[in-house]
Amino acid sequence: MATKKAIKRIAISTGGGDAPGLNAVIRAVALSGLKRGWEVYGIRDGFHGVLLPEQYEEGGILKLTRERVRGITHLGGTMLGTSNRNNPMRYPIELPDGSIEEVDRTDEIVRALRLHHIDALISVGGDGSLAISDVLSKKGLRVIHVPKTIDNDLDKTDATFGFDTAVGFATESIDRLHSTAASHGRVMVVEVMGRYAGWIALHAGVAGSADAILIPEIPYDIRKVARKIKDRDQMGRHYTIVVVAEGAKPTGGSAMVVEHKKGKDERLGGIGEQVAKEIRTTTEKETRVVVLGHLLRGGSPTSLDRLRALRFGAAAVRALDKGYDGVMVALAYPTVKYVPITDAMGQMKHVPVDSDTIMTARDMGITFAEAGDTEKK
Ligand code: F6P
């Protein structure tokens, strides 16, 4: 895990879907590196900057100076750009006959970085980028990975930055829906991102006092949602808020996919509409759907996410300074630690169905609409 070669020049890349806090990581990496007398470079759009340098007027790799990273901690997005298309491990190229072949271009990344005399790479991304970090590290590049995703589904870290901002926005949205739902006596279905994990739906649903929360970890029975709506009606509560994770699935069914692609790259969506349709049929209540989608990825990071991101960025540079290689920075309350990239890979962190947050929700009277006669205690 530890190597000794002195560092002179490092590069940072941000890959996968953007998350609030990426700019804070970039700033922390740049300032911590510059403080040590290193040169710091930022690769544009994931790894496109090194694979397709000719496409960038300023070059595919930017020198990060103090001036370049000034005033960016609070900004959403990433100043370097990112991409969750054209994974360098399965890069699509068009053959003369018009068909598409996927090729591995990771050797080219290693070569290009060596050509730029980059001693180490700090790669910021989710599980897709983590797999790329692993390959690059095995090919001899010195790599430190920084975990990122609004979905909070990365294993071996207590949390990722971006999640708190996404939950905050979703909660505020649910708060706003209460009054309009109550005024019209409607059911409001709120679909949130999160892929195959229900973290955002659970946290925002509990914080925003939803009545039902549907998450991938607990397959739902629509009749249970309908029961909840009817029970509330009988109690004189003529409106209901249902929060649905994009990866939620009915008992015996599967998640709704809008774009089929290889492996975990498939794009989820549509479950909100589906649930609303079923609610209309089973309850005859007026039902509306709000899909929060990419709004959850936008905007200024919360102070918690800024701090997490700054800590992760600085910890990544300290890791290099200490001679670490092939590790991911991870949050281990109350501090940060380093875990081998290989240990963090391949597993998704799901909501534990016996977690205290789930128990809290149940005690608050929130239903997960699971099949069976009674809600589990
Ligand atoms: O992983 C982050 C995430 O926002 C998921 O919650 C969502 O399913 C996915 O990215 C959407 O990605 P995009 O629309 O950018 O392809």
Q: State the Cα–Cα distance between residues 323 and 120, nearest whole angstrom.
A: 11
97 is catalytic: no
> Which residue of 200, 295, 297 sits with most ligand 1 atoms within 8 Å of its CB, as the best mutation to test the pocket?
297
- For domain 9-161+301-344, say whether CATH 3.40.50.450 is its number: yes
Residues of the chain with CATH 3.40.50.460: 163-298+352-363
Residues of the chain with CATH 3.40.50.450: 9-161+301-344
Q: State the Cα–Cα distance between residues 1 and 327, nearest whole angstrom.
A: 7
For residues 262, 263, 265, 267, the Cα torsion angle rounded to the nearest 10 degrees is 90
CA of 326 from ligand 1 middle (Å) equals 26
CA of 17 from ligand 1 middle (Å) equals 6
> Which residue of 82, 84, 163, 196 sits with most ligand 1 atoms within 8 Å of its CB, as the best mutation to test the pocket?
84
Is the predicted pLDDT of residue 34 greater than 50, yes or no?
yes
Q: State the Cα–Cα distance between residues 187 and 222, nearest whole angstrom.
A: 14
Q: State the Cα–Cα distance between residues 212 and 5, nearest whole angstrom.
A: 55
Element (H, E) at 112: helix 106-115
Is the predicted pLDDT of residue 3 greater than 80, yes or no?
no
pLDDT at residue number 377: 44
The minimum-distance atom of ligand 1 relative to the CA of 150 is 2
> Could you give the percent of the chain with pLDDT greater than 70?
97
Q: State the Cα–Cα distance between residues 113 and 120, nearest whole angstrom.
A: 9
**Residue among 268, 203, 221 at smallest CA distance from 370:** 221
Active-site residue, selected from the candidate residues 134, 151, 153, 164: 151
> Which residue of 192, 199, 262, 267 sits with most ligand 1 atoms within 8 Å of its CB, as the best mutation to test the pocket?
267
Residues 6 or more apart whose CB falls under 8 angstroms from that of 37 comprise none
Neighbouring C-beta atoms of residue 39, cutoff 10 Å: 18
Helix-, strand-, coil-residue percentages of the chain, each rounded to 5: 40, 20, 40
Buried b (16+ CB within 10 A) or exposed e, 262-285: eeeeeebbbbbebbbebbeeebeb
Q: State the Cα–Cα distance between residues 336 and 348, nearest whole angstrom.
A: 20
CA of 119 from ligand 1 middle (Å) equals 31
Query: pLDDT tens digits for 110-139?
Result: 999 999 999 999 999 999 999 999 999 999
Q: What is the mean pLDDT of the chain?
A: 95
Is the predicted pLDDT of residue 311 greater than 90, yes or no?
yes
Query: pLDDT tens digits for 235-287?
Result: 999 999 999 999 999 999 999 999 887 655 789 999 999 999 999 999 999 99
pLDDT at residue number 171: 98
Instruction: Take atom 13 of ligand 1 and give the residue whose Cα is closest.
Output: 17
Is the predicted pLDDT of residue 37 greater than 80, yes or no?
yes
Element (H, E) at 227: helix 222-234
Q: Which CATH class is domain 163-298+352-363?
A: alpha beta
**Cβ-based burial of 377 (10 A; exposed 0-12, middle 13-18, buried ≥19):** exposed
CA of 22 from ligand 1 middle (Å) equals 15
Query: Ligand 1: which residues within 6 Å by Cβ?
Result: 17, 84, 126, 149-151, 193-195, 246, 267-268, 297
pLDDT at residue number 8: 96
The minimum-distance atom of ligand 1 relative to the CA of 153 is 1
